[in-house]
Structure 1
């Protein structure tokens, strides 16, 4: 069927070409706008005409044609307008006629190639859009800024280059210019000259790609959005449609109803497993080192594998190739510094360091945030609760470092080494002792708590543009994530009559090691066909252990390899219609099984304003995060490698369809999606409720999920104002057949409605912004309690039972964040000082509700059997913060 469909389209294109050669036209235009006359040719005769609206905006025509061919009609319409035309493959291209003293076009349908770079630093710019003005013909620069544009109509055409955060540039070609390895430099979108701010109209905060569910945002344009301390990459992503913003943690990237662990987050090709510092207050990445961000929410190509939800692909800066730059920044919680230094003409170095000073200075802001985020953290929960433990004032700090060096041996090659390390440290202790000499009594109680977690990664890359048609990218990467938690409680009572001692020690560790070899290639066959293909080899080792008093309670130690091969073919039926089809094949060493993933997408540019797009894909995830939702101790998830012993491979199918409309500064993007999911795993506290035939699963039960919804974004730019409104309508359901008879019920990521309203304005040197977030009530689980009584009805013990279908909704979530910043400009640099207010009207939003175990324990020894009660986990309230940044 797919071959038949493609064949029909090919014949249609050939037929259209023949029609333009043989068409005979009879019509009279009386004072008709030239644009309307050209559009008439398209609507009445199917003749596609490409033109620049500005060139013909003021031209009208009065002319009559009787049985004229297309050449004669065009000559008549363009007479006395200063315009001329070419007919290329049945399509008419209209452009300004060259002046009499200049050369006429000498080349037609030729190939243009080159590189896009920053004019100040020389840094290459990936994902820049290069197109022929007045047409839909275009391409995108690769990760090293290289591009190839096929079939440029004439060597006097105008080329337009767009890149987020930079001024749009137009280049008028001429026969004397080189058309191979052309260097195009772009200027940053905002330049301060003699106290005058010049800003280009293309400075969009968010760009929507023709590719389905793919978006990019301008880190520089969004750096003044409200935050808790400094510009935060992952919080910015949460403002986009389909990415939940009601989870206030930076790591909470729930994309289209899926778990954060089901997203692939890449920095220079290596994986980041944990996305935040300070329990979610700060992003794990320093925004000063980020050059480009691409987010794929669904339906992404076969190049990406190993995850079943979304992809965030981050490219870090390589350091200035022409000029050294330095930046420093501070807020009420941390300091950071970045240096970008060229070494000669071919080597550049970037180094960045960030550290909180919360272990030395514990401000009121820190104390307020720490109390809230420590209580609400999903990853770390004490195994024993005691009100006295809350009196501990622990030491806490985080650090991270980025390093990247790039070597450019030639214009076609780049060799780079990128490294990242980030770590959080938490340590607290309390000792309480007393002695009574007359009674010979000694008492001592102590608690120590230590928690460390962090990411690490390194990537070595060689990228080469072999020729205009072939580009390759070879990578060796290594990633790691580890979390180590230790809780120790000791009690001692000595007297003349007795001696009592108690010791409880709890340790939990989880470590992921991920080594990868990646060889990615792009080969452009001609102006219609191109191929992406490559091989990936991954080796994982995952260790998880929980122990109490030296005795191992749970342990996982898995090693495995995944080998993958992928290929995607892109076919442009014409400049308006593209089909991409491919597959990814994965070989799982432990399971001795291959997993096949077909991918298909298409987009059709109906006009310069309207684009239609759709995609289908199958995806697998071999690293599974087990959901450990414990009613006593809260959520304590852990990573495990899929195997044949209870940890299945996660599988999803994506179905996406959408449309994008752009006109007069408006951008409207609408997408509908449906995702099926299988292989999710949850920790089951009470295994004797599992069906008898499923008892071999032990504490782990498998399930499936369904996610469906609609994402809408409307973005508008008016002069110095930019903003957007996004709305998401979604459902996220799950089912565990072994324990709930296959009933689908809302997952904890289910949120029916979410609205983000973001506004930014530049008023002279002042940048002001406001963001309002609304989310309908998220679900939480209620529990059943089973009491064990003796013959007299006295409660001797109880057990809390999870009822997955007992879902109750929290109150609606909403907050308003505000930010104001003042731009500084001095002789050798620039800066910014500002203030941000998080949750400005102090809304008491609730993250979830936890069962009150201590209230239930009061029933032991009585005949009272109370129903469970719950306590709210309140999120961050009114929180002002200040920041300052300098670049020189």
Structure 2
């Protein structure tokens, strides 16, 4: 900054007096060892020059020149004399381009190739959006891109990445280099240089069914300061927030286990996420988040629902860094260590330091009410008690929960965009509730335990070959071990006799070994081909015991190979056509499965974009619902076989329209999905014999997203209108009926206000209620509990000495609305006609503090 000031003072002191002293204006230049790009800026400001040039390229040249010149052309010729530069004039614009007259270009067509990195940390920025002469394309996981032109020799290049400044320049002829993007917020001591970090929360409408999220803003939303990724996900359209689903994502009507979460290339099968404060992915490790809600391209597969792809940071190579977070219940830490010249090591650790919930504060007995079970509800699949009167009483249980996980990652950055990393993950959680309470003349004792152990590892190597061809190879492993038990005991208060009504133990272990190769081949003018292949092996073990008897004892093995070919064709900078075919071969089933995909995007004017997509999707491992005699549901991993569990097959049809102008975005997107091969295992009913049953489902709906950003502040609205239905042989009439997660309306409002170093935020979620929680009262009316939750937070950022710090206070469920947690509603039968609902309460009124420090 000091040298810039001296230079400009020097420039104006010498140029302006000389210029004004001449009767006929001459161009006066007096510079000593100054970068050429700065000289051009001064000529623009003083004499009205207009330039087009590659700033990074010409900034390499330092110029010393003293003289007066009669014309602009004369001044330019003297400035670039002896440099490998020349100029061309288009109107009154001087285009400064490389002079390749003395060196024959060996490339048949001009090629723009490079890697996109963050300016401070040298982190590759994957899947950045790029426009070259109006033709759109995207970088790969390494941040690499390549564009081959047929006729152009000059290229208007724009690069954008969520949460970063726009990179805008002009290039000439072929280049192959790195492009550095600056974060929209940079901290220098106690001075905050910013371009409104929170303005860009999400990128929607760029591709059918796809969203890209700015995970950084999660720390400004209400929560624990190191909020899980779920804190921002739950506020997006089409992603279920009502019911606070704890162990899976329900997106666009997908069932539990039908969507995949992937981190650094390995699958996360799921850990609990109670109260939205802890997720399976450490937020300090997150670099990039992409969500494919449906209609996604051929290179993605293996699921019939949605895909959540998360990439982790690679770590700083310039200097070590330490980040530490603490809140009401957890500690979180991250260490980044440069290793040798081109490598880095990242380590992260999280742990609850006391039980999240206090079981001593159980609200054992809720209000009693009379209700009638009938055939209208989804839960009455067996209908053995249909039409009978039963007493229902609510028991609210707050569970014990503890959690721990760790990440370790090594990254090597080679020349020409080469990238290698080894990413390791291990985590586990334990969940327990123990309810004891008197009901009429019975003492109820119910205990439920669940333990999860998740491990994952991946090795990735990506390299750019000749002529812009880019490829990568990934080897990955992941495993989830789930152990659950459920025991119901009753003590007769008169006779003191104890009876164990239910004792269930389940062990479910699922592992995945995979290899994949992905390659991108650039053709002319943005046209490209993607080709890839891979191999996946899943081993699954499921044991379910009732007392000492095995109800299920199965080992599954799913082995399959796949290949895909995908063509991306931009037409005239207006239409983007993407066609692809994916072929899966199941060695376990000895069968091929074809999955055609197609999508079209059209720019309908400067600010409008129309998207549509259609595709076929197959899933070979999934969660199967196990239903007991009182309609409690539990989900466990199984694999398709030739016997009782079919392959899931789904068809997606997606369409949407987006308007984006002046930081105002409106997006509306509709979908229709069908799925065949749904599986239920029924156990312990009188009307239906035990065993597996297959069915089908359908879901359809509309998402609306409205966002406005203004001077560092932002607000958005997300609304979903949807219907999810299913059909099984045991349904009365065998027609479609509402699915368990069917909910008609969900509305979300969120806003962040930035006042100097303070960030004030609030969000609200309303859900119209689930079919699963519906009861029919004596008067025939339906009792459908709604979901309503309002959260608020204040965050303060400051930088004492060498530290960068954030402190904040959040209040979840400000109005303490009593909500039901979707995945933890259980029904207990006490006598033949008496039931008790036991549920884990969703987030109550919860004030919390957090502190985050970075060195």
Q: TM-score, normalised by structure 2?
A: 0.77
Aligned-residue offset at 1:552: 2.1
Structure 2 partner of 1:398: 403
Conserved in 2, the CA contact under 8 Å of 1:773 and 1:816? yes
The equivalences for 1:604-753 within 5 A come to 604-630=602-628, 632=630, 634-685=632-683, 689=687, 698-753=690-745
Aligned-residue offset at 1:370: 12
Structure 1 partner of 2:368: none
Aligned-residue offset at 1:726: 1.1
Q: What 5-or-longer segments of structure 1 have no aligned partner? A: 1-93, 373-386, 432-444, 493-497, 785-805, 860-865
Q: How has the CA–CA distance of structure 1 residues 320 and 250 changed in structure 2, closer, same or farther, with 3 Å as cutoff?
A: farther
Aligned-residue offset at 1:149: 3.2
Structure 2 partner of 1:286: 282
Aligned-residue offset at 1:156: 5.9
Q: Does 2:768 align with 1:776?
A: yes
Conserved in 1, the CA contact under 8 Å of 2:135 and 2:570? no
Instruction: Please give the alpha-carbon distance, in whole angstroms, between the structure 2 residues aligned to 1:846 and 1:582.
Output: 43
Aligned-residue offset at 1:111: 2.2
Instruction: Please give the alpha-carbon distance, in whole angstroms, between the structure 1 residues aligned to 2:313 and 2:127.
Output: 14
Instruction: Please give the alpha-carbon distance, in whole angstroms, between the structure 2 residues aligned to 1:743 and 1:568.
Output: 38
Structure 1 partner of 2:123: 123
Q: Does 2:816 align with 1:842?
A: yes
Structure 2 partner of 1:878: 845
Q: How has the CA–CA distance of structure 1 residues 593 and 329 changed in structure 2, closer, same or farther, with 3 Å as cutoff?
A: same
Instruction: Please give the alpha-carbon distance, in whole angstroms, between the structure 2 residues aligned to 1:504 and 1:263.
Output: 32
Aligned-residue offset at 1:228: 5.1
Three-state SS of the structure 1 residue aligned to 2:218 is: coil
Moved more, 268-277 or 210-219: 268-277
Q: Does 2:214 align with 1:218?
A: yes
Instruction: Please give the alpha-carbon distance, in whole angstroms, between the structure 1 residues aligned to 2:123 and 2:788.
Output: 40
Instruction: Please give the alpha-carbon distance, in whole angstroms, between the structure 1 residues aligned to 2:837 and 2:435.
Output: 28
Conserved in 1, the CA contact under 8 Å of 2:226 and 2:284? no
Structure 2 partner of 1:573: 571
1:756-810 deviations in Å (ceiling 9; x for gaps): 11101111000111111111122126799xxxxxxxxxxxxxxxxxxxxx99562
Instruction: Please give the alpha-carbon distance, in whole angstroms, between the structure 1 residues aligned to 2:636 and 2:724.
Output: 22
Three-state SS of the structure 1 residue aligned to 2:734 is: coil
Structure 2 partner of 1:562: 560
Aligned-residue offset at 1:812: 2.5
Aligned-residue offset at 1:608: 2.8
The equivalences for 1:94-133 within 5 A come to 110-132=110-132
Structure 2 partner of 1:322: 318
Structure 2 partner of 1:189: 184
Q: Does 2:589 align with 1:591?
A: yes
Instruction: Please give the alpha-carbon distance, in whole angstroms, between the structure 2 residues aligned to 1:371 and 1:118.
Output: 54
Structure 2 partner of 1:138: 136
Instruction: Please give the alpha-carbon distance, in whole angstroms, between the structure 1 residues aligned to 2:698 and 2:628.
Output: 24
Structure 2 partner of 1:31: none
Structure 1 partner of 2:343: 347
Aligned-residue offset at 1:624: 2.1
Instruction: Please give the alpha-carbon distance, in whole angstroms, between the structure 1 residues aligned to 2:498 and 2:722.
Output: 57
Structure 2 partner of 1:790: none
Instruction: Please give the alpha-carbon distance, in whole angstroms, between the structure 2 residues aligned to 1:184 and 1:217.
Output: 22
Q: How has the CA–CA distance of structure 1 residues 686 and 525 changed in structure 2, closer, same or farther, with 3 Å as cutoff?
A: same
Instruction: Please give the alpha-carbon distance, in whole angstroms, between the structure 2 residues aligned to 1:656 and 1:391.
Output: 40
Three-state SS of the structure 2 residue aligned to 1:125 is: coil
The equivalences for 1:451-490 within 5 A come to 451-486=450-485
Three-state SS of the structure 2 residue aligned to 1:540 is: strand
Among candidates 144, 159, 174, match of residue 161 of structure 1? 159
Instruction: Please give the alpha-carbon distance, in whole angstroms, between the structure 2 residues aligned to 1:747 and 1:449.
Output: 25
Q: How has the CA–CA distance of structure 1 residues 781 and 329 changed in structure 2, closer, same or farther, with 3 Å as cutoff?
A: closer
The equivalences for 1:752-767 within 5 A come to 752-767=744-759
Instruction: Please give the alpha-carbon distance, in whole angstroms, between the structure 2 residues aligned to 1:369 and 1:458.
Output: 39
Structure 1 partner of 2:202: 206
Conserved in 1, the CA contact under 8 Å of 2:205 and 2:667? no
Among candidates 421, 424, 430, match of residue 425 of structure 1? 430
Q: How has the CA–CA distance of structure 1 residues 194 and 475 changed in structure 2, closer, same or farther, with 3 Å as cutoff?
A: closer
Aligned-residue offset at 1:450: 5.5
Three-state SS of the structure 1 residue aligned to 2:175 is: coil
Aligned-residue offset at 1:884: 0.9
1:582-610 deviations in Å (ceiling 9; x for gaps): 11111122222211111010111123311
Aligned-residue offset at 1:463: 0.7
Aligned-residue offset at 1:501: 12
Structure 1 partner of 2:534: 536
Instruction: Please give the alpha-carbon distance, in whole angstroms, between the structure 2 residues aligned to 1:211 and 1:117.
Output: 23
Q: How has the CA–CA distance of structure 1 residues 742 and 762 changed in structure 2, closer, same or farther, with 3 Å as cutoff?
A: same
Instruction: Please give the alpha-carbon distance, in whole angstroms, between the structure 2 residues aligned to 1:352 and 1:450.
Output: 28
Instruction: Please give the alpha-carbon distance, in whole angstroms, between the structure 1 residues aligned to 2:830 and 2:230.
Output: 38
Q: How has the CA–CA distance of structure 1 residues 608 and 118 changed in structure 2, closer, same or farther, with 3 Å as cutoff?
A: same
Structure 2 partner of 1:22: none
- Report how many aligned residue pairs link the two structures: 724
Q: TM-score, normalised by structure 1?
A: 0.75
Aligned-residue offset at 1:466: 0.8
Instruction: Please give the alpha-carbon distance, in whole angstroms, between the structure 1 residues aligned to 2:511 and 2:728.
Output: 30
Instruction: Please give the alpha-carbon distance, in whole angstroms, between the structure 1 residues aligned to 2:489 and 2:362.
Output: 29
Among candidates 513, 516, 525, match of residue 515 of structure 1? 513
Conserved in 2, the CA contact under 8 Å of 1:250 and 1:281? no
Instruction: Please give the alpha-carbon distance, in whole angstroms, between the structure 2 residues aligned to 1:832 and 1:153.
Output: 52
Structure 1 partner of 2:303: 307
Q: How has the CA–CA distance of structure 1 residues 274 and 109 changed in structure 2, closer, same or farther, with 3 Å as cutoff?
A: same
Q: How has the CA–CA distance of structure 1 residues 808 and 676 changed in structure 2, closer, same or farther, with 3 Å as cutoff?
A: farther
Structure 2 partner of 1:408: 413
Conserved in 2, the CA contact under 8 Å of 1:165 and 1:221? no
Aligned-residue offset at 1:232: 1.6
Q: Which has the higher contact order (CA 8 A, sep 6+)?
A: 2
Instruction: Please give the alpha-carbon distance, in whole angstroms, between the structure 1 residues aligned to 2:403 and 2:157.
Output: 47
Instruction: Please give the alpha-carbon distance, in whole angstroms, between the structure 2 residues aligned to 1:490 and 1:728.
Output: 42
Aligned-residue offset at 1:230: 3.0
Aligned-residue offset at 1:278: 4.5
Conserved in 2, the CA contact under 8 Å of 1:278 and 1:424? no
